[in-house]
Amino acid sequence: MKHALVLTVAFCIAQQAAALPTQFSDDIASLQAGVICPPPTVGNAPAPGTIAGTTHIIANDPPFLSASRRVPAVLGIGFGIKALAADNVGIEDVTVVVTHPPMGDGQVVTQQFITRISGVSPSITFYQFDHDFELIQGMWTMVGVAKNRVLYSVTFEVTAPGDIPELAGICGTQDVLS
């Protein structure tokens, strides 16, 4: 019976994710989206278009632990996309715009940073919850743009941890539902 329950929960999560918009252009050969546990950072890169002013640099791309695009608002969880460029040269100077409900003292609704998309292996772009002020429930969208062309647009729904308890503690965060 437990096996059937797990399959039912996975099916429901997959259905809910399918209802959230995803688009990508012919410039993108493949695109995946999901929830991750962010790996340790090896440094930071300047990102003046973000509240923090920097983005994390990682040595190894983390796997998606769930293909859900419903994300619990829990510190230490990340969500994002892995994209592969159709041209094996890749795509440079990709601006990623993250739109979300009003956040922080300035009630910021968009943040952006520059990245690249490889044409050899999928490149990950993700947002991770590092601070309490980031735990804003609602719709979040990641849009990748290069040379005034939208490469992809993926929508996530950030929810209360109790709405998706099977993901709330996925990164080892203890007592998120108490």
Cβ(61)–Cβ(102) under 8 Å?
no
Nearest C-alpha neighbor of 128 from the set 177, 48, 65: 65
Q: What is the largest CA-CA distance in the chain?
A: 52
Parse the chain into domains and list their residue ranges: 2-168
Tokens 């998606």, residue? Answer: 64
pLDDT-derived band at 172, boundaries 50, 70, 90: confident
Of 25, 23, 21, 32, the residue nearest 148 (C-alpha):
25
Q: In CATH terms, is domain 2-168 a member of 1.10.220.10?
A: no
Which of 12-26, 36-50, 102-116 comes out lowest in average pLDDT? 12-26
- Pick the more confident residue, 85 or 40: 85
Greater pLDDT, 14 or 22: 22
Mean of the per-residue pLDDT values for the chain?
87
Cα distance between residue 6 and residue 140, in whole Å = 27
Is pLDDT above 60 for 66?
A: yes
Rounded to whole angstroms, the Cα distance separating 93 from 113 reads 10
DSSP helix/strand/coil, 47: coil
- Residue 102 pLDDT exceeds 50: yes
Could you read off the pLDDT of 140-169 as tens digits, one per residue?
999 999 999 999 999 999 999 999 999 999
